[in-house]
Structure 1
Amino acid sequence: MLDKFGDDFNIDPEVLQSWKNEFYATRIWAPLIGKPDILFDVNVPGHVGPCLDILRQVFVECFTQTAHKVNKDSPSQKLLFHKDIPRYRKLIGPFFKRVEPVNDQAFWSEIDELSNKQKAELKFSRQLILHQIYNSFIGKYRSEIIEDFEDMEESKDLQFAKKVEEFIDLMEECSNNS
């Protein structure tokens, strides 16, 4: 799309390359590298977040066309990957040449195929999910959960602790019958 736009309006090839770099690296991949939980069902531990942020910064830097000067006061991640970035920058131009354009029909066809495949493979059951939550959390911490609701002023008037206990009893009954 950007190549076609560049050809139609006689955009300088360097400007066009900057557009591609900005769009591809900064708008698509950098957020996913820094925060994979945006797209994937993963928990990113607190100590891993800063490491992912460093990788994200290095990735974006590889797509910039101007080299940033480093010195002894530069951040450690810049110093750590400084020697590798020029090598990665050389790979960017050939990468974009190998990317094949996709028309709308092919894109949506692929999306439909993936969606249908996912529907066929994934069987969502609310009851199964509820049992999994119960077995992994509620059943283990039953007494603590009920005590917390009994101690909370907001839930005393509603008799929430009693209702939760009835719910848990019902879940246990259903688990024992299955």
Structure 2
Amino acid sequence: MITPDQETGTKLWHLVKNHDHSDHKEGDRGSKMVSEIYLTRLLATKGTLQKFVDDLFETVFSTAHRGSALPLAIKYMFDFLDEQADLRQITDPDVRHTWKSNCLPLRFWVNVIKNPQFVFDIHKSSITDACLSVVAQTFMDSCSTSEHRLGKDSPSNKLLYAKDIPNYKTWVERYYRDIGKMPAISDQDMDAYLVEQSRLHANEFNSLSALSELYFYVNKYREEVSARPERPAA
């Protein structure tokens, strides 16, 4: 964008024009034009990535379209949560839904989506981080049981996937429902599964190094760890 200047003849601007400049007038479309350009590029980028986001969500929230069997630990953990809810006579389905969301999608998957460098040997640029934050926020909204009310003042990352979130929510509900219908996992089967996983990955971790890190941590906070909390007075 070029603006005439009396001294040099021209003045170069980036996409955003300085509104404090003397030639700024009421009703200038500069900022509006920049917003329109940004929105157009935002929607175009979303359209390009839509298939990949859909594939990710469908893979995570599906017992069939995973490429591999559902890990036994997920079924075992979800059954445990349902048993605890029954034990405490919690009949609100939203509570059970929230428990499961906090244990797996919001605890594990959001962290992986937001920080791919935890899994892959890659560099995450600031632009990539911003894009992944939008996907992670959409993921979290899809696991929520509350209704999302959006308005003109809502942030763009909320508005971007507003029409997709209801569909994603049905995937989450179907995922939890399908897991609930699967055959229960016995304690013996779970123990055998953990032993097999330990055998398969026995050479991938350094046990002595892990114990060393635990020792340094416990040694640093040994007073706090060994201290017993005082019992409240009767």
Match of 1:56 among 136, 139, 145: 136
Flag the structure with more relative contact order, 1 or 2, with Cα contacts below 8 A and sequence separation at least 6.
Answer: 2
The residue aligned with 1:17 is: 97
Structure that is richer in helix per residue = 1
With normalisation by structure 2, the TM-score equals 0.46
The residue aligned with 1:133 is: none
The residue aligned with 1:2 is: 81
**Residue 107 to residue 51, structure 1, CA distance change in 2 (3 Å):** farther
Structure 1 Cα separation of the partners of residues 199 and 123 of structure 2: 28
Tell me if 1:112 matches 2:198: yes
**Residue 89 to residue 45, structure 1, CA distance change in 2 (3 Å):** same
Match of 1:43 among 105, 109, 123: 123
Number of positions where the alignment pairs a residue of Structure 1 with one of Structure 2:
119
Tell me if 1:74 matches 2:154: yes
3-state secondary structure, aligned to 1:65: coil
Structure 2 Cα separation of the partners of residues 91 and 14 of structure 1: 15
> How far did residue 118 of structure 1 move?
5.3
**Residue 106 to residue 98, structure 1, CA distance change in 2 (3 Å):** farther
Structure 1 Cα separation of the partners of residues 194 and 163 of structure 2: 41
**Structure 1 alignment gaps of length 5 or more:** 120-178
> How far did residue 116 of structure 1 move?
4.3
**Residue 55 to residue 106, structure 1, CA distance change in 2 (3 Å):** farther
Match of 2:170 among 90, 96, 111: 90
Give the root-mean-square deviation of aligned CA atoms.
2.2
The residue aligned with 1:34 is: 114
> How far did residue 88 of structure 1 move?
0.8
* Percent identical: 29
1:127-138 residue pairs with structure 2 within 5 A?
none
With normalisation by structure 1, the TM-score equals 0.59
**Structure 2 alignment gaps of length 5 or more:** 1-79, 206-234
State the AA in 2 paired with 1:4: E
